[in-house]
Protein backbone atom coordinates (compact mmCIF):
# COMPACT_ATOMS: atom_id res chain seq x y z
CA UNK A 1 0.00 0.00 0.00
CA UNK A 2 1.54 3.33 -1.06
CA UNK A 3 0.08 5.31 1.83
CA UNK A 4 2.37 7.45 3.99
CA UNK A 5 1.19 7.75 7.58
CA UNK A 6 2.26 10.10 10.38
CA UNK A 7 1.45 9.17 13.98
CA UNK A 8 1.60 12.11 16.38
CA UNK A 9 1.92 10.92 19.97
CA UNK A 10 3.38 7.56 18.94
CA UNK A 11 5.03 6.83 22.30
CA UNK A 12 1.81 6.90 24.32
CA UNK A 13 -0.31 3.99 25.55
CA UNK A 14 -2.25 3.62 22.28
CA UNK A 15 0.35 5.11 19.95
CA UNK A 16 3.01 2.49 20.76
CA UNK A 17 0.84 -0.45 19.72
CA UNK A 18 -0.80 1.44 16.87
CA UNK A 19 2.62 2.23 15.40
CA UNK A 20 3.65 -1.42 15.47
CA UNK A 21 0.43 -2.57 13.80
CA UNK A 22 0.44 0.14 11.12
CA UNK A 23 4.05 -0.70 10.23
CA UNK A 24 3.02 -4.33 9.92
CA UNK A 25 0.13 -3.39 7.60
CA UNK A 26 1.64 -0.55 5.53
CA UNK A 27 5.37 -1.24 5.73
CA UNK A 28 7.98 0.19 8.10
CA UNK A 29 9.15 3.02 5.85
CA UNK A 30 5.60 4.22 5.20
CA UNK A 31 4.76 4.86 8.87
CA UNK A 32 6.48 7.83 10.52
CA UNK A 33 6.25 7.84 14.29
CA UNK A 34 6.58 11.11 16.22
CA UNK A 35 6.39 12.37 19.78
CA UNK A 36 7.62 15.30 21.85
CA UNK A 37 10.51 13.10 23.01
CA UNK A 38 11.89 9.64 22.35
CA UNK A 39 9.90 7.23 24.52
CA UNK A 40 9.30 3.58 23.77
CA UNK A 41 12.43 2.13 22.13
CA UNK A 42 10.41 -0.14 19.86
CA UNK A 43 8.79 2.96 18.35
CA UNK A 44 11.87 5.01 17.42
CA UNK A 45 14.26 2.12 16.77
CA UNK A 46 12.04 0.16 14.37
CA UNK A 47 11.31 2.79 11.74
CA UNK A 48 11.29 6.50 10.86
CA UNK A 49 10.91 8.73 13.95
CA UNK A 50 10.68 12.49 14.38
CA UNK A 51 10.80 14.50 17.61
CA UNK A 52 7.70 16.66 17.20
CA UNK A 53 5.70 19.06 19.37
CA UNK A 54 2.03 18.56 18.43
CA UNK A 55 1.30 22.17 19.44
CA UNK A 56 3.93 23.60 17.08
CA UNK A 57 2.30 24.13 13.67
CA UNK A 58 5.62 24.80 11.92
CA UNK A 59 7.06 21.51 13.14
CA UNK A 60 3.95 19.53 12.20
CA UNK A 61 3.82 21.16 8.75
CA UNK A 62 7.54 20.50 8.14
CA UNK A 63 7.19 16.78 8.92
CA UNK A 64 4.02 16.45 6.79
CA UNK A 65 5.81 18.09 3.84
CA UNK A 66 9.11 16.23 4.36
CA UNK A 67 7.49 12.80 4.11
CA UNK A 68 4.58 13.76 1.80
CA UNK A 69 2.16 12.44 4.43
CA UNK A 70 -1.25 11.16 3.29
CA UNK A 71 -2.82 10.25 6.64
CA UNK A 72 -2.35 11.54 10.19
CA UNK A 73 -3.27 9.67 13.37
CA UNK A 74 -3.35 12.35 16.08
CA UNK A 75 -2.87 10.44 19.35
CA UNK A 76 -1.30 13.22 21.45
CA UNK A 77 -3.52 14.21 24.39
CA UNK A 78 -3.58 14.75 28.13
CA UNK A 79 -5.96 12.14 29.60
CA UNK A 80 -8.73 12.54 32.17
CA UNK A 81 -7.04 12.26 35.58
CA UNK A 82 -3.82 13.99 34.46
CA UNK A 83 -5.74 16.80 32.73
CA UNK A 84 -7.60 17.69 35.93
CA UNK A 85 -4.24 18.57 37.50
CA UNK A 86 -3.31 20.96 34.68
CA UNK A 87 -6.50 22.14 32.94
CA UNK A 88 -5.07 25.03 30.89
CA UNK A 89 -2.27 22.93 29.39
CA UNK A 90 -4.66 20.05 28.74
CA UNK A 91 -7.00 22.34 26.81
CA UNK A 92 -4.14 23.84 24.77
CA UNK A 93 -2.64 20.46 23.87
CA UNK A 94 -5.91 18.69 23.11
CA UNK A 95 -7.39 21.50 21.01
CA UNK A 96 -4.45 23.20 19.25
CA UNK A 97 -2.97 19.92 18.03
CA UNK A 98 -6.35 19.10 16.46
CA UNK A 99 -6.65 22.50 14.76
CA UNK A 100 -3.18 22.12 13.26
CA UNK A 101 -4.01 18.87 11.45
CA UNK A 102 -7.55 19.96 10.50
CA UNK A 103 -6.16 23.10 8.88
CA UNK A 104 -3.44 21.17 7.06
CA UNK A 105 -6.14 18.87 5.67
CA UNK A 106 -8.25 21.90 4.72
CA UNK A 107 -5.21 23.12 2.72
CA UNK A 108 -5.07 19.68 1.02
CA UNK A 109 -1.72 18.80 2.62
CA UNK A 110 -3.28 15.75 4.33
CA UNK A 111 -5.88 13.43 2.79
CA UNK A 112 -7.27 11.75 5.90
CA UNK A 113 -7.20 12.23 9.70
CA UNK A 114 -7.86 9.93 12.63
CA UNK A 115 -8.64 11.75 15.88
CA UNK A 116 -9.68 9.82 18.99
CA UNK A 117 -12.55 10.92 21.19
CA UNK A 118 -13.60 9.25 24.44
CA UNK A 119 -16.49 8.24 26.69
CA UNK A 120 -15.39 11.32 28.66
CA UNK A 121 -17.60 13.41 26.32
CA UNK A 122 -20.55 12.13 28.33
CA UNK A 123 -21.47 13.53 31.72
CA UNK A 124 -23.65 12.99 34.80
CA UNK A 125 -26.83 13.86 32.87
CA UNK A 126 -26.14 11.28 30.13
CA UNK A 127 -28.15 8.02 30.31
CA UNK A 128 -25.69 5.64 32.01
CA UNK A 129 -26.87 2.29 30.68
CA UNK A 130 -26.48 1.46 27.00
CA UNK A 131 -25.63 5.10 26.26
CA UNK A 132 -26.92 5.89 22.75
CA UNK A 133 -24.91 7.42 19.91
CA UNK A 134 -26.93 10.64 20.08
CA UNK A 135 -27.69 11.79 23.61
CA UNK A 136 -27.15 14.46 26.24
CA UNK A 137 -23.46 15.40 26.49
CA UNK A 138 -22.50 17.60 29.44
CA UNK A 139 -18.95 16.53 30.35
CA UNK A 140 -17.63 17.54 33.75
CA UNK A 141 -13.87 17.13 33.13
CA UNK A 142 -11.40 19.23 31.13
CA UNK A 143 -10.57 16.15 29.06
CA UNK A 144 -14.24 15.52 28.30
CA UNK A 145 -14.89 19.17 27.45
CA UNK A 146 -11.95 19.20 25.04
CA UNK A 147 -13.09 15.97 23.41
CA UNK A 148 -16.67 17.20 22.99
CA UNK A 149 -15.44 20.45 21.46
CA UNK A 150 -13.10 18.45 19.22
CA UNK A 151 -15.98 16.31 17.97
CA UNK A 152 -17.90 19.41 16.95
CA UNK A 153 -14.89 20.85 15.14
CA UNK A 154 -14.27 17.57 13.27
CA UNK A 155 -17.86 17.53 12.08
CA UNK A 156 -17.65 21.22 11.15
CA UNK A 157 -14.48 20.78 9.08
CA UNK A 158 -16.05 17.81 7.27
CA UNK A 159 -19.29 19.67 6.49
CA UNK A 160 -17.69 23.03 5.69
CA UNK A 161 -14.43 22.06 3.99
CA UNK A 162 -14.81 18.38 3.10
CA UNK A 163 -12.00 17.29 5.45
CA UNK A 164 -11.99 13.48 5.71
CA UNK A 165 -11.67 13.18 9.49
CA UNK A 166 -12.72 10.01 11.32
CA UNK A 167 -13.16 9.38 15.02
CA UNK A 168 -14.20 6.84 17.65
CA UNK A 169 -15.02 7.33 21.32
CA UNK A 170 -12.61 5.04 23.14
CA UNK A 171 -13.82 3.33 26.30
CA UNK A 172 -11.26 2.35 28.98
CA UNK A 173 -8.34 0.59 27.28
CA UNK A 174 -6.42 -2.36 28.72
CA UNK A 175 -3.00 -3.53 27.55
CA UNK A 176 -0.10 -5.62 28.83
CA UNK A 177 2.41 -4.06 26.44
CA UNK A 178 2.35 -0.41 27.56
CA UNK A 179 1.66 1.30 30.86
CA UNK A 180 -1.51 3.42 31.19
CA UNK A 181 -1.29 7.15 30.54
CA UNK A 182 -3.12 8.78 33.43
CA UNK A 183 -6.76 7.89 32.86
CA UNK A 184 -9.60 7.08 35.25
CA UNK A 185 -9.92 3.52 33.91
CA UNK A 186 -6.25 2.76 34.66
CA UNK A 187 -7.20 0.51 37.58
CA UNK A 188 -8.15 -2.18 35.04
CA UNK A 189 -4.51 -2.36 33.92
CA UNK A 190 -2.83 -1.85 37.29
CA UNK A 191 -4.92 -4.61 38.88
CA UNK A 192 -3.23 -7.26 36.71
CA UNK A 193 0.29 -6.10 37.67
CA UNK A 194 -0.61 -6.15 41.37
CA UNK A 195 -2.32 -9.55 41.00
CA UNK A 196 0.93 -11.07 39.75
CA UNK A 197 3.31 -9.15 42.02
CA UNK A 198 1.31 -9.11 45.30
CA UNK A 199 -1.85 -11.22 44.69
CA UNK A 200 -3.89 -8.29 46.02
CA UNK A 201 -5.01 -4.87 44.84
CA UNK A 202 -6.24 -1.66 46.46
CA UNK A 203 -8.65 -0.07 43.97
CA UNK A 204 -9.15 3.69 43.64
CA UNK A 205 -12.76 3.17 42.47
CA UNK A 206 -15.65 1.62 44.41
CA UNK A 207 -16.53 -2.03 43.82
CA UNK A 208 -19.77 -1.34 41.90
CA UNK A 209 -18.37 1.26 39.48
CA UNK A 210 -19.28 -0.16 36.07
CA UNK A 211 -17.42 1.28 33.09
CA UNK A 212 -17.11 0.41 29.38
CA UNK A 213 -13.79 -1.28 28.63
CA UNK A 214 -11.85 -2.71 25.70
CA UNK A 215 -8.72 -4.79 25.19
CA UNK A 216 -6.07 -2.83 23.28
CA UNK A 217 -5.99 -5.29 20.35
CA UNK A 218 -9.65 -4.46 19.69
CA UNK A 219 -9.01 -0.71 19.99
CA UNK A 220 -6.22 -0.93 17.39
CA UNK A 221 -8.47 -3.05 15.16
CA UNK A 222 -11.23 -0.41 15.37
CA UNK A 223 -8.83 2.48 14.76
CA UNK A 224 -7.40 0.99 11.58
CA UNK A 225 -10.83 -0.35 10.61
CA UNK A 226 -12.53 3.04 10.50
CA UNK A 227 -9.60 4.53 8.58
CA UNK A 228 -9.74 1.76 5.98
CA UNK A 229 -13.54 1.99 5.62
CA UNK A 230 -14.99 3.45 2.44
CA UNK A 231 -15.59 7.18 2.77
CA UNK A 232 -19.31 6.79 2.13
CA UNK A 233 -19.63 4.20 4.93
CA UNK A 234 -18.37 6.64 7.56
CA UNK A 235 -21.67 8.41 8.15
CA UNK A 236 -20.86 10.04 11.51
CA UNK A 237 -18.17 12.72 11.39
CA UNK A 238 -18.24 13.79 15.03
CA UNK A 239 -17.29 10.45 16.65
CA UNK A 240 -18.63 6.89 16.86
CA UNK A 241 -19.59 5.13 20.08
CA UNK A 242 -17.36 2.09 20.51
CA UNK A 243 -17.69 -0.77 22.98
CA UNK A 244 -16.62 -4.33 23.72
CA UNK A 245 -17.46 -5.08 27.38
CA UNK A 246 -18.49 -3.41 30.62
CA UNK A 247 -17.62 -4.51 34.14
CA UNK A 248 -17.09 -3.33 37.73
CA UNK A 249 -13.86 -3.69 39.76
CA UNK A 250 -15.64 -6.40 41.75
CA UNK A 251 -16.47 -8.38 38.60
CA UNK A 252 -12.94 -8.02 37.23
CA UNK A 253 -11.43 -9.13 40.55
CA UNK A 254 -13.67 -12.22 40.55
CA UNK A 255 -12.54 -13.04 37.00
CA UNK A 256 -8.87 -12.73 38.04
CA UNK A 257 -9.53 -14.89 41.12
CA UNK A 258 -10.72 -17.69 38.81
CA UNK A 259 -7.26 -17.70 37.23
CA UNK A 260 -5.24 -16.83 40.31
CA UNK A 261 -6.12 -18.48 43.62
CA UNK A 262 -6.51 -16.31 46.74
CA UNK A 263 -6.40 -13.00 44.85
CA UNK A 264 -8.04 -10.29 46.97
CA UNK A 265 -9.16 -6.70 46.42
CA UNK A 266 -9.82 -3.72 48.71
CA UNK A 267 -11.36 -0.36 47.86
CA UNK A 268 -10.21 3.16 48.63
CA UNK A 269 -11.94 5.57 46.20
CA UNK A 270 -10.09 8.84 45.46
CA UNK A 271 -10.76 11.90 43.25
CA UNK A 272 -11.12 9.63 40.21
CA UNK A 273 -14.36 8.21 41.62
CA UNK A 274 -16.24 11.44 40.81
CA UNK A 275 -14.93 11.30 37.24
CA UNK A 276 -15.98 7.66 36.84
CA UNK A 277 -19.43 8.40 38.31
CA UNK A 278 -20.01 10.96 35.55
CA UNK A 279 -19.37 8.42 32.78
CA UNK A 280 -21.61 5.72 31.26
CA UNK A 281 -21.56 2.18 32.60
CA UNK A 282 -22.27 0.65 29.17
CA UNK A 283 -22.31 1.90 25.57
CA UNK A 284 -24.54 1.27 22.54
CA UNK A 285 -22.17 1.03 19.56
CA UNK A 286 -24.66 -0.40 17.06
CA UNK A 287 -24.06 2.49 14.64
CA UNK A 288 -20.36 1.59 14.25
CA UNK A 289 -21.24 -2.08 13.79
CA UNK A 290 -23.81 -1.21 11.13
CA UNK A 291 -21.92 1.51 9.21
CA UNK A 292 -18.39 0.11 8.87
CA UNK A 293 -18.60 -3.41 10.27
CA UNK A 294 -17.06 -2.98 13.72
CA UNK A 295 -16.90 -6.11 15.89
CA UNK A 296 -14.82 -6.96 18.97
CA UNK A 297 -12.83 -10.14 19.65
CA UNK A 298 -12.13 -9.99 23.40
CA UNK A 299 -14.49 -10.42 26.35
CA UNK A 300 -13.44 -10.10 30.03
CA UNK A 301 -12.47 -13.76 30.41
CA UNK A 302 -10.36 -13.95 27.23
CA UNK A 303 -8.74 -10.60 28.08
CA UNK A 304 -7.89 -11.70 31.64
CA UNK A 305 -6.20 -14.92 30.45
CA UNK A 306 -4.21 -12.94 27.87
CA UNK A 307 -3.21 -10.21 30.34
CA UNK A 308 -2.04 -12.59 33.07
CA UNK A 309 -0.11 -14.89 30.72
CA UNK A 310 1.74 -12.07 28.97
CA UNK A 311 2.41 -9.99 32.07
CA UNK A 312 3.88 -12.96 33.92
CA UNK A 313 6.36 -13.43 31.08
CA UNK A 314 7.05 -9.69 30.83
CA UNK A 315 7.62 -9.19 34.57
CA UNK A 316 9.82 -12.29 34.78
CA UNK A 317 12.15 -10.74 32.18
CA UNK A 318 12.58 -7.46 34.07
- How does DSSP assign 186-231, residue by residue? GHHHHHHHHHHHTSEEEESS-TT--EEEEEHHHHHHHHHHHHHS-G
Buried b / exposed e across 35-71, counting CB within 10 Å, b at 16+?
bbeebbebbbeebbbbebbbbebebbbebbeebebbb
**In whole angstroms, what is the distance from residue 20 CA to residue 32 CA?**
11
Decide: 97 and 54 in contact? Cβ < 8 Å. yes
Question: Which segments of the chain are extended strands (E)?
Answer: 5-8, 31-35, 49-51, 71-74, 112-114, 117-118, 165-166, 168-170, 172-174, 200-203, 211-215, 240-241, 245-247, 264-267
Q: How many CA atoms lie within 13 A of 182 on its CB side?
A: 14
Asked if 201 is an active-site residue, the reply is no
Asked whether the CA dihedral 128, 130, 136, 137 is positive or negative, the reply is positive
Catalytic residue among 67, 73, 134, 143: 143
Q: Which residues are catalytic?
A: 143
Amino acid sequence: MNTTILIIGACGQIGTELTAKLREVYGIDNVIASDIRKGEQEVFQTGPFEVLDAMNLEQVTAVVEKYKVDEVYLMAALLSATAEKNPAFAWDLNMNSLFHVLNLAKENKIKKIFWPSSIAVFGPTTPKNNTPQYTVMEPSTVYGISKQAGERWCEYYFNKFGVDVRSIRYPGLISWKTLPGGGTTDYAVDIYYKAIEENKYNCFLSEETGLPMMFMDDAIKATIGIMQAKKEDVKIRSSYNLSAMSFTPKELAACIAEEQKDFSITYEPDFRQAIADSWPSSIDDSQARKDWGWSHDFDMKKMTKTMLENLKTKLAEI
